[in-house]
Amino acid sequence: MTDLRITSVDPAGPAATPAPLADWRLIHNAIIPTAPLSEADVRERAGRNRLDVAYVDGVPVGCSTVRPPDEETSAATVISRILPEYRRRGYGTALYERGLAHARTLSDAGVETVVLASNTEGLRFALARGFVETERYLLPGDTVPFVTLRLDEAAAAAPDA
């Protein structure tokens, strides 16, 4: 694999080093155009979630979110996003595995992920890792649903998963 480096977004980071925050936002908005986030939105999310950015040779190629359990779910949530031109090179797996390791420190109640339904590659990635669809929902004003999936630990541990 090429020089993959994963960096966490620091919401209180100095203005002189805004790259991870801006890069995370750029990737998120490219992959989830139905729910674009502002810089303020990303700062707020980084204050309550772990946001990471994956770089290959200094170029941002993906981002992830790890959400702790909350009032809606007792599971931790791991979401990995890789720009289409960088998929199928192992970057998504590396980003996902880092997020999964962190999520497991946050909850014993399982792990979930959320994928925009139109992101067929993202759905395929989640299903191949043992996630099972549990819900589809639309945000107000949206026409493309989000898909919530829960990790089936037995399926994830299977040799051909």
Domain definitions of the chain by residue range: 4-157
Question: 10 vs 131, which has greater pLDDT?
Answer: 131
Q: Can you tell me whether residue 56 is helix, strand or coil?
A: strand
User: Which residue did the predictor score with more confidence, 99 or 12?
Assistant: 99
Task: Assess whether pLDDT exceeds 50 at residue 114.
Answer: yes
pLDDT of the residue at 155 = 55
- Classify domain 4-157 at the CATH topology level: Aminopeptidase (3.40.630)
Report whether pLDDT(16) > 50. Answer: no
> Looking at the predicted structure, is the pLDDT value of residue 61 above 60?
yes
Residue 1 has pLDDT above 60, yes or no: no
The reported pLDDT for the residue numbered 160 is: 53
- The whole-angstrom separation of Cα 1 and Cα 74 is 35
C-alpha 131/C-alpha 35 separation (Å) is: 23
Tokens 């772990």, located at residue: 50
CA distances for 84 relative to 37, 55, 60, 92, 109, angstroms: 19, 14, 12, 11, 32
Predicted TM-score (pTM) of the model is: 0.87
Range 104-131 average pLDDT: 93
Q: pLDDT category, 154, cuts 50, 70, 90?
A: low
Is 49 exposed, middle or buried (CB count within 10 Å of its CB: 0-12, 13-18, 19+)?
Answer: middle
